[in-house]
A and B are shown apart, each in its own frame.
Chain A
Amino acid sequence: MVKNENSRFSDYLAIFGSLAYVIMMVGLITLIPLLLLFFYPEEAYQLPCFALPGVLAIFSGYLIKLFTPRHSIKNLERHQGSVIVLLIWFVSILIGAIPFVMSGNYTFTQAIFETTSGFTTTGFTVTDVENSTHMILLYRSILHLFGGVGLVLILSSILSNVYGMQLFSAEGHTDRLTPSLIHSARTIMYIYLGSIISGTILYVTFHMSLFDAINHAISAVATGGFSTKENSIGYWCAERVGLSNSIGIDITTIILMLVGSTNFMATLALLRGKGRDFITHSETKVTIFLLSLATPLITVVLLTSGICDSVLSAIDNATFQVVSVISTTGLSSVDNFLPKLGYATVPVLLMMIVGGHTGSTAGGAKAGRIALAFKSLYYDVRENIVPRRIINSRSINKFGKQMTITKDDQSQNYTYLLIYIMIGFLGAFGLTLNGYGFRDSMIEFFSALGTVGMSIGIIGPDMNNCTMWIFIVGMIIARLEVYIIILALARIGTDIKDSISEMRNKKK
């Protein structure tokens, strides 16, 4: 349906009005670190960095809500949901970057980079964590907290919105835990927050400070990767906290990362005692397969390269690193993990591409798509081998149920994976144009595209702006999944084209 100019304009006005709540929410996010002033009053000089943008964002959002017309979009038109989701993320990143800029330690591009890395739960950082204030460090983790679960999901759980479900799906949440949208959103929030609280308690038990515990629990469950220490989790080594505590911290982190990267529906199934459904789920099988393949390999690499001096330490660190990559978290127990891998960077790169489960906080192409791709390949090959008179049904296990695979599903899946790989190569090419080697560019950009956040050495405070913007675009594409961006841009393009042709007709 071709809409007239006036209704199209008022739809965009309504879209703009709906951003009011987003702006207020981001304002609130920006104010949270101020709570630390009760514990670290010496950091009061940074109060304006958070208070000013936070309060102004809340007031601005309130005024926008007040002044935009009450007209609301009763039902989203084709791809309008994607436009809204894209705008939500853009606005959030812009406002979220202000505290970094105001702190005086970041340029505008660096601030956008850090905020994008936080919201998209990538974990790349240009922050000198050892010399940063607690407020900045907590703020980064808070970006992970909200970005991990999804900004739209948080909005949906707060507001009972007419078009909530369309936005919910548009942000990439394809499964509903319960029939009610609000209930689904809140269930996800409870699982998420419950994991963080449990993780914090365990970390403190293993002699991590409360501040570090909160930050790392958020980072692990959100599969973000920001750490309060330069050496990441490796800071809490056996020499510092004792072997048992060090292993305890590693195991806690591994569990939290796995929880964060597992489909929330699968987690709910496990919590409800449906272990069989959880184990037979296709994505779980992919994760278990990759873990069992990669962990021994990395263990050998760590031992042979002299990074770890004992088998136990090698197994511990190997398991940690493999889980960190496959969950796309990016936390590290080994200093400079990627550069030391050598030939083993190839399986690591493949794990970065696979990523975590759909409907989780993790990135990557998603284990579900990989499972579907391989299953489709298997069925295609089988069809060519077995006699034609035999009818083969195509199905894949989803939470204990066999779901039929249609030709459409297969084709869309292959298309997505192709686009994903193409974007990866394109980004890597962009990095090579900035003077980086092809291998390093591939690993670094796929790390961004998979929101892993593990760096081979390109990421750092001395990156040029062009490189940073390449990574920023890559991280946004990764978090929103490429289709949303394509559909949103297509929609905006169509609306602009229709508006221009209408204006021309009016002139005639």
Chain B
Amino acid sequence: MKKSLFKRALRNFAEVIIIYVLTTLLAYVLDIYSVHSENLLMVYLLGILIIIMQTKSFLATVFSSILFVITHDFLFLNPRYVWVSFSRNFAITSAVFLIAALIVNLLVVRLQKQIEISKENEGLHKKLYKASEGLLSVHGRDDVIEYADNALTELAGAEVEFYFDIDMHDDNEAKKWCYKNSAKCGHGEVEFSDANCKYLPIKSNHKTVGVVSIDCSHKEMSNETELCISALLSQITIAIERESLESERRDELQLREREQIKAKVMKGISHDMFPRVKLINETATSIKEGKNLMEDSEIDEKLVSIIDNSRYLGEVVDNLLDITKDK
């Protein structure tokens, strides 16, 4: 850390010197072409602005402001090449230079910070968009949870764990509290602030279906990241719900199909059974009513028909019983 600070300071110093030399050279040349000293001061102002843009360092800004004013007074103000004692003009010029430089420095540093934040947010939103897009194409509850795990880990930049069907006898009090109260807790929150992880509820239809924990021990989570995680969690919940509904729909469909097949089978069987029952009934009735008038062979024939049909019916009933047993 110290080494990088030192390197940074050295680099800033080198940049200041290079810009100082170039600015002084330009001012000197312009002076040869009889440009007024006030305009030469503008050249130095330009130099300071470039130093601020390059170094973004408060110290470099202050140092260069003083150095540039002294150099300008020494080289371009009469009497030249003479160190004048402290004067009112020198004081005003120095003060104005310094204030202007500090204001610009502040603006540049803030702008730079905003740019960095903006870049970071852009990165987050890109990850969020990618994750949301992926959730649309993943199917199956387990696959959705696995995908969600990976997406959240990438978004948060930390270890993430999903918990469904929380056991109230679990040792983790923070997890249980989050689940029971359907509110976030853990690291950085009011409840269980000393925990290493942050716990967020997974809500669906005003019901908490689970909890997700995010490891905050290595890295603090920014507000923007937390917002993105919440947004992604809602989408994950929707995806899980979608998969549950899809699963239910599939079960229902299966059941309906099964019923339809059963009805078809029953219909087929009754179509097959009814004529045979009718035949047996008619044959038995004809024997009862006309047995004195019938030959023995005719009676035997009708009895055989009755036996065959009733055997067949017996087999059908046996098959039906077997089907119900398999179920």
Contacts and interface: CB of A to CB of B under 8 A. Distances in A.
Interface of A: 31, 34, 47-48, 51-52, 54-56, 58-59, 62, 66
Contact of B32 (A48, A54, A56, A59): A48
Contacts, number: 27
Contact of B26 (A34, A52, A62, A66): A52
B11 to A, nearest CB: 16
B22 A58 contact: yes
Given A31-B25, A51-B28, A55-B25, 10 more contacts: A47-B28, A47-B29, A47-B32, A52-B29, A54-B25, A55-B26, A55-B29, A56-B26, A59-B26, A59-B46
Contacts of B53: 66
A45 to B, nearest CB: 9
B80 to A, nearest CB: 16
Nearest to B23: A55
A138 to B, nearest CB: 18
A71 to B, nearest CB: 15
23 contacts: A31-B25, A34-B25, A47-B28, A47-B29, A47-B32, A48-B29, A48-B33, A51-B25, A51-B26, A51-B28, A51-B29, A52-B26, A52-B29, A54-B25, A55-B25, A55-B26, A55-B29, A56-B26, A58-B22, A59-B22, A59-B26, A62-B50, A66-B53
Give chain A's interface secondary structure class: helix
B25, B32, B33, B50 — most chain A CB neighbours (10 Å): B25
B140 to A, nearest CB: 37
B22, B33, B46 — most chain A CB neighbours (10 Å): B22
Interface of B: 22, 25-26, 28-29, 32-33, 46, 50, 53
B234 to A, nearest CB: 34
A41 to B, nearest CB: 14
A508 to B, nearest CB: 37
Nearest to A48: B29
Nearest to A62: B50
Contacts of B46: 59
Nearest to B53: A66
A471 to B, nearest CB: 32
A31, A48, A66 — most chain B CB neighbours (10 Å): A48
Contacts of B33: 48
B19 to A, nearest CB: 10
A55 B50 CA distance: 13
Nearest to B46: A59
A265 to B, nearest CB: 35
A194 to B, nearest CB: 26
Nearest to B31: A48
A187 to B, nearest CB: 26
A385 B46 CA distance: 76
A62 B23 CA distance: 13
Contacts of A58: 22
Contacts of A51: 25-26, 28-29
A320 B53 CA distance: 54
B189 to A, nearest CB: 39
B141 to A, nearest CB: 40
B22 A55 contact: yes
A95 to B, nearest CB: 16
A62 B26 CA distance: 15
A498 B215 CA distance: 55
Contacts of B28: 47, 51
Contacts of A56: 26
Nearest to A27: B22
A452 B33 CA distance: 40
A66 B28 CA distance: 25
Contacts of B50: 59, 62
Contacts of A62: 50
Nearest to A53: B29
B50 to A, nearest CB: 7
Nearest to B50: A62
B318 to A, nearest CB: 74
Nearest to B18: A58
A31 B28 CA distance: 14
A66 B50 CA distance: 10
A449 B27 CA distance: 42
A271 B131 CA distance: 56
B43 to A, nearest CB: 10
A44 to B, nearest CB: 10
B15 to A, nearest CB: 12
A48 B26 CA distance: 9
B260 to A, nearest CB: 56
A58 to B, nearest CB: 6
A55 to B, nearest CB: 4
Contacts of B22: 55, 58-59
Nearest to B54: A62
A94 B50 CA distance: 26
Nearest to A54: B25
A26 to B, nearest CB: 14
A48 B22 CA distance: 13
Contacts of A48: 29, 32-33
